[in-house]
Each structure stands twice: as structure tokens, then as C-alpha cells.
Amino acid sequence: MHVRQDARQVIALLELVFNQHLRGAGHHTISPGFSIKDFLSGREQIVPGFVYSINKRIVGNVSLLESKVKGRYLVANVAVHPDFRRRGIARKMMVEVVRYIKNRGGHQIALQVETENQSAFTLYEQLGFTNVGEVRDWRMNWYALKTVASKPPISRSRPDDYGEFLLRPLRPEDAKQAYQLDKSIFPKELNWPDPPQSSYYRRGLKQSIQWFFSASNHEIWVAENQSKQIVGLGIIENDFGRPYTLKIRSHQDWAHLIERPMVAKLSRRLRYMRSKTVVMQQDVKQASIEGLLREAGFSLKRNLTVMNLVIE
């Protein structure tokens, strides 16, 4: 794909194929971690991908992302014009993608496919991709945000102290514990576009400067029990030009206690932020939180199966 030459036709194709999800997201997002704005600006980690053309008309596109993990690539989207489907175009493009990444020394390709899209699921299986898990894609427009009721704290003077545990902002000394908890709760293969690095939780001066210059502000809360162990995490990622991304991690032994207060806390925090879409991807195994997300105003948009191909 030649970005300057093909951009106009590719964007028109993506908007046609993904129109429903684009409108639901409130901005031009194809998949988490990839946007038309990035495509046009030539974002460094974007490897443009491939197009399929007939008589100089682009009727198919595969867009790629280069992961922060060396040798790992992400298929951001596979799009074929509705009038040209069932002609093997998606298969031909994906075969070329695998060949291209293998020649570049890549060792892994990851993608997300709608769970109900059986034809696409079958295609990827035939190409050697394996199912590594399922996530649910939740979205909410900020104006639909609702306050989630929570059990009362132990006193009005300590609004985030619930006796068995305390909600508080992340501290620099929490970084290692928070990172280990995140890794143990949410499988790294399900993180999109990339699993968090240990540096994600280091809230030092360097990280603060980087976020300042990138117009980002990641707000991280922890649930700490009486033994000073971190048993839950609540995160609001706020990156310029993108929706808010919500992440909630809770130790299985504490989920029934901390999830409601954590969702209540994050929903209150969102009320102080500027209006834009809020998104969250939830591991299907974390089913206990679904009712709370609906209570906060979220709607389930898609069930996504995460698939992985190891290149040998």
C-alpha cells in the first residue's frame, strides 16, 4: 500500500465496511490502537499493509500495526468491499501479510475478529491462527455516564476507606506490585494493541514529562487491603484524540468487594473530565463486572475473539 496514493480510496473503503462501528465509537476508529487520523499522519508504528485493486479500484485492504514487542505485528483490520466478497480476496491479502511479515523476521501476528463472524474465523484458522481468548468491547458516550451506587465508606472524612480495603492513587513504590497484579489477572495475549510494560506503572518524573508532551494523562487507582497488598486496579487512559480507555483489574478473592466501589470511583472521576467516548475491553472470564458496566451507562458493542499466529 502506498499511503499518499491509496489513502483516499482506503479511507472510503474502511468507512463503508466499518461504518456502524465508526459511528458507535463517535470518531473514526477502525480498531483500538489504530485510527484514520494516525493513518493520515503516518504514525511511526503503522506498517501500512496491503490493498487489493481491480482496474485501479481498491476493493480490499489489510492495515497493519507494528507492536512494541519486537517481531510482533497486529492486523488492525481486514476490509473487503461488499460487492466483491466471496472471491477469496481476504485470503489472498492475508497470505501476503504472513509472507511479508515472515520475510521481515517477524515471529508473531495477532488480530481480533468478531466472534459471530464465522467465515472470517474459519479463514484465520485455515491460515494457522489459534484462538487465545475472548473479550467484550464496551462503549459509552460521556453524556450517558451514570453514577454507580456503592456501599458507604467507613466515614465521610475518609471517603475511599472501606475498612477491608482502601482506594487511593498509585504511588511510585506500587509499580512492581501493580504490574504483577495486572499480568496475573488479564492474559497478556488479550491486551490490545500491546500488553503493558513494567514502565507503565512507574509514575516518576520521566513518565510524567512524556505524558505531558504527548497530551496524555493516565489516572491509576489501586485497592489496597489491610496487609498493604494491592488487590485491585482502576485505570483511566486519556490520550489526545482518542476515547478514554477504562481498565479494571481485581484479584479473584476480592472482586466481590472492590469492583463496585472501584467502578463508582472511576465513574465519578470521569464526570470531571471533558466529554468524549469511553471504551473498555473486558475478558469474558471477568463476568462479575458486566452488570456494573451497564449500570454505569456502557453498552456492549462487540464480542471479539483474539487470535494468534506463531511464525516459525
| pLDDT value of position 44 | 47
Q: How far apart are CA 131 and CA 111, in angstroms?
A: 10
Q: Cell 492495515 belongs to which residue?
A: 63
Residue carrying the nine cell digits 510482533: 72
How many Å is the Cα radius of gyration of the chain?
A: 21
| Cis amide prior to 193 (ω within 30 degrees) | yes
Q: Give the bridge partners for 249, in sequence order.
A: 233
**pLDDT the model gives residue 193:** 85
pLDDT by residue, tens only, the chain of 312 residues? 888 889 889 989 988 888 755 444 433 344 544 555 555 554 445 567 899 999 999 999 999 988 888 999 999 999 999 999 999 999 999 999 999 999 999 999 999 999 999 999 999 999 999 999 999 999 999 899 998 999 888 888 889 999 999 999 999 999 999 999 999 999 988 998 888 888 889 876 666 666 555 567 789 999 999 999 999 999 999 988 789 999 999 999 999 999 999 999 999 999 988 889 999 999 999 999 999 999 999 999 999 999 999 998
Convert the chain into a string of H (helix), E (strand) and C (coil): CCHHHHHHHHHHHHHHHCHHHHHHHCCCEEECCEEHHHHHHCCCCEEEEEEEEECCEEEEEEEEEECCCCCEEEEEEEEECHHHCCCCHHHHHHHHHHHHHHHCCCCEEEEEEECCCHHHHHHHHHCCCEEEEEEEEEEECHHHCCCCCCCCCCECCECCECCCEEEEECCHHHHHHHHHHHHHHCCHHHCCCCCCCHHHHCCCHHHHHHHHHCCCCCEEEEEEECCCCEEEEEEEECCCCCCEEEEEEECCCCHHHHHHHHHHHHHHHHHCCCCCCEEEEEECCCHHHHHHHHHCCCEEEEEEEEEEEECC
- Alpha-carbon span 224 to 164, nearest angstrom: 9
User: Are 146 and 296 spatial neighbours (Cβ–Cβ below 8 Å)?
Assistant: yes
Taken in order of first residue, the domains within the chain and their CATH numbers are 3-106 (3.40.630.30), 140-302 (3.40.630.30)
Q: What is the pTM of this model?
A: 0.84
Cell of 232: 485491585
d(CA 37, CA 178): 32
> In Å, how far are 60, 90, 105 from 96, measured between CA atoms?
13, 10, 14
Grid cell locating 156 = 465521610
